[in-house]
Chain A
Amino acid sequence: AQTVTQSQPEMSVQEAETVTLSCTYDTSENNYYLFWYKQPPSRQMILVIRQEAYKQQNATENRFSVNFQKAAKSFSLKISDSQLGDTAMYFCAFMSTSGTYKYIFGTGTRLKVLA
């Protein structure tokens, strides 16, 4: 069975600094998607970034980028130039491409951006 591990329950970063959130996963499959979602205090889940496992190039979305290491089964999220609005819970998720489209979520990392 697939698992997703986020080993940092809480993190903080100064405004304008860079922070990296870690995520590791376990799977025997070769084709899958990985995601980072942000859940601010409003509790709306917002897609931050998506990575297809068959793509070697790391996904980027403006200030957000990932370091995808397929062999190591690692999928970290880097937030550059952190902003107060980045304060949120961040969830890493795994989805197999063969089956039900269900997500396996990590336990989340609570990020606080300090002014």
Chain B
Amino acid sequence: GAVVSQHPSRVICKSGTSVKIECRSLDFQATTMFWYRQFPKKSLMLMATSNEGSKATYEQGVEKDKFLINHASLTLSTLTVTSAHPEDSSFYICSCFLGGTQYFGPGTRLTVL
């Protein structure tokens, strides 16, 4: 139980384009989901908290206009990186909250050329 998927697992895009990453809870409903960014050999950095049916709450320093989060259903949250630049290249991980625990997706590696 508590399986979380992310799609795509890898994406390469050109600078200036937008990329959408999906996070799905497969066998449960998640009112709250989280989006993280992870640099190589570093810990996870929380970007935002996504709540179903309401606006996401962004952490300090995260550009909400660049990283658009939508949580339109209890099983799906999306992160759209708009006008991507090479410095947005990173590993993005989502998690879904259930019963006092966060369950993580497998991550998405974004490379911006």
Q: Which residues of A have CB within 8 Å of B28?
A: none
CB distance from A106 to the nearest CB of B (A): 7
Most B-side CB within 10 Å, residue of A35, A37, A43, A46: A43
Q: Is the CB of B43 within 8 A of A107?
A: yes
Chain B residues 29-60 with CB under 8 Å of chain A are 32, 34, 38, 41-44, 46, 49, 57
Q: Is the CB of A101 within 8 A of B106?
A: no
A47: nearest chain-B partner, CB-CB: B101
Known contacts A100-B49, A103-B102, A43 near B43 by CB under 8 Å: no
Q: Is the CB of B97 within 8 A of A101?
A: yes
Does B93 have its Cβ within 8 Å of any Cβ on chain A? yes
Chain A residues 78-115 with CB under 8 Å of chain B are 89, 91, 95, 97, 100-103, 105-108, 110
Would you list the 6 A-B pairs with minimal beta carbon distance, nearest first? A45-B104, A105-B43, A44-B106, A101-B97, A43-B107, A107-B43
